[in-house]
A and B are shown apart, each in its own frame.
Chain A
C-alpha cells in the first residue's frame, strides 16, 4: 500500500518552508511607509468604531482587504494592520484560522460546492467533480469543496461568489461557469432567493429529481472514488 507523503517528505502535514530565524518579528507597520487606499482605510475605521475593542474588527477588516486585493496577501494584511495598529502576525493568525480567508493567491470567482452529509446524500460529491471538470482548469475560478453551507433544502448546492444556487444537476455546473464568464448572475433560475418555503412548494418539489442509483453513482460509491477533500 502506497503511503501518501507531503512535499517535505513526511507522512504528516507540516510546514513546507522553513521559518527564517534571523528575521526580527514584524512590528506594527509604520504608517508613513505603508500606504493604504483612502476608501479601504475609511471602511476599516468604520468597523473599528462598532466595537469597544479594536481587535474585534479583525474579521471585518480582513474581509475588506480580501475584497480589495483578491486574497489576504502580505500587503493586504499589512494595510489592515497599520489601520488597526496591530502586528501583521496577529492578523495572520486570525486569517489562517478561518476557511473563507485565502492566504494564497486565488481566482476571481469563488465557488464553494457543499460536500457535507446532506448534500452528499443527494449527489454533492458528483457535483463537485462536475464543477471541477467544468472550470477546474481555468485559473480565474477558485473551486473548493466546502463544509455544510446551511442550505440542505436545495441540496446538492453551491455558493457561487456568495450566491446560493441549487438543487444542482451535473449539467448546471457548465452553465454556472458560462454565466460567470459572460458576467451574468450564476444560474439565476435556481437562485435560493426565489424559493418559497417547503410547505408551499408542495407537489412542485416532489418532482425535483432524486439521485437515481441506477443511472448515477450513489453517494456510497462516490465517496471512495471522489477526491478526498482534506
Chain B
C-alpha cells in the first residue's frame, strides 16, 4: 500500500504547500535529475514507458500525446488544464491546494521533455484560494531558480504563469481553453489541426490535466517501467477518485487503477446512507453514461478499459452515487440543464439539442409528455453525438440516453403518475418502444403482426 499512494502520500502534512517542506520530502529531486542527467528524449521515453493516461477525461496516453509535438527550435507551449468543471470532480482542487509544488515540478519536467519554453496554468476562476496558493508557490519556485532562465545551469529556460478563468465549463475542452487563453470567448476549434501542431498562438502546444502532470515527478523518481507495474496493463498508475453524491464519506481517494468499483463506493466512501440502495452511479463525472447499481456493475474493475467495455467511461474519475430515494427524472433534468447552460452555442446540434432535451424532460416532469417523447429524446441525443466540434453535446447525450435505456420504466411510471396528479387523463398507447434506446423492439402479438399481412 505504501507505494500505491503517490500524490496523496503526505498530502496533509502541514506546510506541504511551501517550498521548504516540499523539498524536505524529496521534492524537486526528479526535476534536478531530469535537467542535469537526462536528455529531453530520455525524459519523454520514461513518460511513454510509464503508460500514464490523461486524467482529465479522454484518457489518451500522456507520453504519446507529448511525442506528437514537432522537434526543433520554435515557440512551443505547455498548458496545464486546471479548469476542473466536470460536475462531481474535485481532485485537482485538493491537489493544487495541498501540494502545488508537485504540479509546478511536473510542468517543468514535461516542458523540458517537449521543449516548451512558455507555460500557463489555466485555473478556473472559482478556485480563488487554490490560485492564490499556486501563485505563492510559483513565486517561491521562481525565487529558488526552478522557473526562469537556465534552470539548474542547463540550457533550458521556462516562463510559467497562472491564468485565471472566469467561469465557463466549456473552457475545460482543450481548444476552447486555448481560445479563452488567447483572450477570446471560449469556443472550441475545428480539429484537425490538433493543438500539438497548431495550438496556442498558432504554435505547437501540449495540454495536460493537473493530475496527469503531477504524475511526471513520480514517474521519473520510480522509473517509467516501475511505475507501469502499478494498476492494470491498460491503465497504469494510481488515480485520485472523487466520490460524491449519496455516500456517507464523500471525498477524494487515491487508489491503484483496477480495484473493484465496489471497494471505492462501499468501503472507502462508506456506501449509501442507512437503509438505502444504489440506484445508479456516474463512474466518470456527469458526462459519463450511468451504470445501474447492480452487483455486476459494482464488481467492475475501476480502470479505463473495463468501464469502456461496460458501456461507460472513466472520464475524469468522479463517481457520483445516486440512491433509490432519488427520482431518475430529476437527475436527468439536472444533468441536461447543466449542459444547456454551458453549451457555448457554436454548433447547432449541441445548442438546440441540449435545449430541446431540457424542454422534453420538463414535460416528463410535469406529466405533459408521452412515452413517444422518450424516443424523440433518445433520437435527439443520437443526433448530437459526433456532430459537433467538441464533445460537450455528447457529454449530455451519453448520460441522458443511458438513463432512458436503463430506467425507461421509471420515466414511464413518472409520466403516468404526473399526468394523473395533474388531471391530464390516460396516456395514448405508445409505439416504437425502445427503438432508440438500443433495446430490441417490443414483440408484436402474433395474431396482429402488421408485417404478416404484407408477406
Residues of chain A having any CB pair with chain B under 8 Å: 1, 50-60, 62-63, 93-94, 97-101, 112, 116-118, 120-122, 146-153, 155, 159, 162-164, 192-193, 196-202, 205-206, 208, 210, 213, 218-220, 223-224, 229-230
Contacts and interface: CB of A to CB of B under 8 A. Distances in A.
A122 B272 CA distance: 12
A70 B99 CA distance: 32
B4 to A, nearest CB: 13
Given A162-B128, A198-B252, A59 B164 contact: yes
Contacts of B334: 116-117, 120, 223
B245 A117 contact: yes
25 contacts: A53-B182, A53-B183, A56-B182, A94-B184, A97-B168, A98-B165, A118-B87, A121-B244, A147-B338, A149-B126, A150-B92, A151-B93, A152-B245, A153-B244, A196-B12, A198-B243, A198-B253, A199-B251, A206-B249, A210-B273, A219-B330, A220-B330, A223-B333, A223-B334, A230-B337
Contacts of B366: 224
Contact of A197 (B88, B126, B251, B286): B251
A155 B129 CA distance: 18
B411 to A, nearest CB: 14
6 nearest A-B pairs in the assembled complex, by CB-CB distance: A198-B251, A55-B183, A152-B244, A99-B167, A98-B166, A58-B183
B335 interface: yes
B183 A59 contact: yes
Contacts of A99: 166-168
Interface stretch (B139-147, B318-326, B385-393): B318-326
A60 B248 CA distance: 39
B86 A148 contact: yes
Nearest to B12: A196
Contacts of B185: 93-94, 97
B167 A148 contact: no
B372 interface: no
B84 to A, nearest CB: 5
Nearest to A154: B250
Contacts of B118: 52
B163 interface: yes
B76 interface: no
A152 B94 CA distance: 11
A152 B330 contact: no
